[in-house]
Structure 1
Amino acid sequence: MFEVPVVDIAPYVGDGSPDERAEVARQIDAACREVGFIQVLGHGVPDAVVGGLTDAMDAFFGLGLEDKRAYVRPPVENRGYTPPKSESLSLSLGVESATRMNDFFEAYNVGRAASEFPGMDLVPEHFAENTWPEVAGFEVQVSAYFAEAGRVARTMTRIFGDALGLSAAFFPALTAPSIDVLRMNHYALPEGTDVTLDGDLVGMSEHTDFGIVTILWADAVAGLQVLGSDGVWHDVSPAPGALLINLGDLTARLTNERWSSTLHRVKPPVVDGTIRRRRSAAYFHDGNPEAVVVPLDSCVDEGHPRLYDAVTVDEHIRAKLAGSRAGVRNTTGREGARVLESHR
């Protein structure tokens, strides 16, 4: 039976003993090997901060479509507003969707900006300045959650390092400074939209996440599905108070697929024949653009030959974003075959 493991990471958030942390690392290793999705408790994100995030999302996405369109930015910058039906995440895997550029979610992206790192020569597209909408409290509330989600992401990489037997310096070297983006997603069609629910409507098409690790907050409305090792799509709903953790492609590369970047999608949340509103917020922790990712020696042997060549974080993320946001089919990934197999 498919199940997303629940792990309490409190020993890493607080003053846990070495034995307690070793047990958390063991559980995380097992979850990453078997599923690639994890629910974590004990993460320490205050309820008030999550509440502020959802209030900010509701306030912005409640604006009229034309008001929101004023915050559209060029796709390469990965910032600002994304209108409905302007992306197709399946293209980031190299899979042509029958509903190309038809994912009906809308989103708003913020991220780490170059101005936070004075004196450093950073890739402008990955560290673009943010556009903050003129919505009361939005910047303060979103920034508070961004900081907390970043802390959880760094905690997870610390656990990953212990689970993989790496030095404490490994992930900090791979991720400083990191491309970090918070994508706030809203699944709801504008009032008055005429749509036929014939199976072709896609909330968010099949994809893997691009970087190292994703910290996902999601409300309890159904829609998120994960592709299991059995080739079947399974519904996933977060436990009360839990954050969902999923691995990105760079971690799959790093571990030579000892750990997998799990395919997931969002189906239209349809209740009684109508599309129900659904919200989520994904914090992507992707790594230093100049860092080179290559399979760890400890994950390569005669039974597990090297599956990937070296790639920089910059090269990998650019190819993925060109697929999802600019409609350029990605030809570099291994995951597309899994998508096609799941359609049979």
Structure 2
Amino acid sequence: MTAEPATIASVSLAGEARDPEGFAHALGTSFERFGFAVVSDHGIDSALIARADAAARAFFALPDEVKRRYHVPGTGGARGYTPFGIETAKDATHVDLKEFWHVGRELPEGHRFAQYMQPNLWPDESADFRETQLALFAAFEDTGERLLSAIARHLGLAPDWFDDTVADGNSVLRLLHYPPVSPDAPGIRAGAHEDINTITLLLGAEEAGLQLLDRNGEWLAVAPREGELVVNVGDMLQRLTNNVLRSTTHRVMNPPPERRGFSRYSMPFFLHFRPDFLIETLPSCIDAERPNLYPEPITADQYLWQRLREIKLV
């Protein structure tokens, strides 16, 4: 049994090429212990990140009646705009204090997954919004696949094991805005929750507030340096690995009173398995001490809709 790391791992993706086994071990042990890691040198161009961030901020600054033109009720917020006060953490009684825009995969006409993925919506008010966000989507996906290769190594699988599982996956780029809150505002910006997907890659978490629930019951701050990625395990990967890799409860707290007049912006990328991938417990993650917790396989799409109903997006 390996010694547990004292803190969430902070690893450089540039080091993965020099020492793939060492990188995989550092990343994987942090995911086993915390479900989270911080990744520097991730390869996503800083100029592209800045353009995508600026385009998102410009959209969220539009009047509410303009933004709501891009809201499509009944679709689970899969594409376009989701207004403030709709999404609710599982089992929570208060809505989250956020609004967001979803960008999904662009599929060619007649693609076999067209039934699972709706076409993207694009705001007329921004000429380069589509080009910029699709470029960021692609960059996130490239980085995510490198991280999945390291996860595969940690699990004793071939480095390319995940390639087919996420090929044309139902991944989503979320452009996220937490508006300013009043100095005496109760509650939190995003209630305690776990992510549905395979892994999440998050840019823009430098503003304080992101916390994870450690298994000893304490809330730990996740504090990346500027430009670093926060990466966490989602429920689909937890299920696949029979809870070897942990999908950890996390939340976004209201800032201290002196920062409540400021918005918080972030860009999480929810990397998903392909819709028809059967999430079936890896045999290597089952033994006498760890019996199979998920004996009934489920497709990624079935699991997604099950969870969307739980968080009241459908």
Query: Could you tell me the TM-score, scaled by structure 2's length?
Result: 0.91
CA distance in 1, matches of 2:212, 2:77: 28
- The correspondence for 1:98, drawn from 93, 97, 102, is 93
Per-residue CA distance 1:21-41 (angstroms, 9 max, x = gap): 111011111111111111011
Residue 158 of structure 1: aligned partner? 149
Q: Unmatched 5+ residue regions in structure 2?
A: none
Residue 207 of structure 2: aligned partner? 221
Structure 2 counterpart SS, 1:272: helix
| Contact map agreement 1:182 1:282 (CA 8 A) in 2 | yes
Q: Indicate whether 1:316 and 2:303 are aligned.
A: yes
Residue 38 of structure 2: aligned partner? 39
Structure 2 counterpart SS, 1:226: strand
CA distance in 1, matches of 2:197, 2:271: 6
CA distance in 2, matches of 1:163, 1:271: 42
- The correspondence for 2:111, drawn from 120, 136, 139, is 120
Q: Indicate whether 1:145 and 2:149 are aligned.
A: no
CA distance in 2, matches of 1:4, 1:185: 24
Residue 338 of structure 1: aligned partner? none
CA distance in 1, matches of 2:256, 2:77: 32
Q: Indicate whether 1:188 and 2:187 are aligned.
A: no
How many residue pairs were aligned?
A: 307
Q: CA deviation at 1:136?
A: 3.4
Letter in 1 for 2:97: F
| Contact map agreement 2:150 2:159 (CA 8 A) in 1 | no
CA distance in 1, matches of 2:194, 2:285: 21
Q: Indicate whether 1:252 and 2:238 are aligned.
A: yes
Letter in 2 for 1:10: A
CA distance in 2, matches of 1:130, 1:238: 31
Q: Indicate whether 1:29 and 2:28 are aligned.
A: yes
Residue 7 of structure 1: aligned partner? 11
CA distance in 1, matches of 2:167, 2:205: 31
CA distance in 1, matches of 2:55, 2:185: 33
| Contact map agreement 1:270 1:276 (CA 8 A) in 2 | no
- The alpha-carbon distance between structure 1 residues 58 and 28, as it changes in their structure 2 partners (threshold 3 A), is same
Residue 132 of structure 1: aligned partner? 122
| Contact map agreement 2:242 2:286 (CA 8 A) in 1 | yes
Q: CA deviation at 1:325?
A: 4.0
- The alpha-carbon distance between structure 1 residues 112 and 37, as it changes in their structure 2 partners (threshold 3 A), is same
Q: CA deviation at 1:130?
A: 0.7
Q: CA deviation at 1:77?
A: 5.5
Residue 232 of structure 1: aligned partner? 218
CA distance in 2, matches of 1:150, 1:273: 33
| Contact map agreement 1:77 1:128 (CA 8 A) in 2 | no
Q: CA deviation at 1:275?
A: 3.9
Q: CA deviation at 1:169?
A: 4.1
Q: Indicate whether 1:177 and 2:168 are aligned.
A: yes
Per-residue CA distance 1:280-323 (angstroms, 9 max, x = gap): 11111111111111111111111011111311101110111122
CA distance in 2, matches of 1:28, 1:57: 30
Residue 284 of structure 2: aligned partner? 298
Letter in 2 for 1:60: F
CA distance in 1, matches of 2:142, 2:259: 40
Residue 81 of structure 2: aligned partner? 81
| Contact map agreement 2:42 2:143 (CA 8 A) in 1 | yes
| Contact map agreement 2:203 2:227 (CA 8 A) in 1 | no
Residue 167 of structure 1: aligned partner? 158
Structure 2 counterpart SS, 1:43: coil
Query: Could you tell me the TM-score, scaled by structure 1's length?
Result: 0.84
CA distance in 1, matches of 2:163, 2:142: 13
CA distance in 2, matches of 1:37, 1:128: 30
Q: Indicate whether 1:208 and 2:194 are aligned.
A: yes
Moved more, 306-315 or 233-242: 233-242
Q: CA deviation at 1:76?
A: 3.2
CA RMSD of aligned residues (A): 2.0
Q: Unmatched 5+ residue regions in structure 1?
A: 328-344
Q: CA deviation at 1:197?
A: 3.0
CA distance in 1, matches of 2:302, 2:213: 26
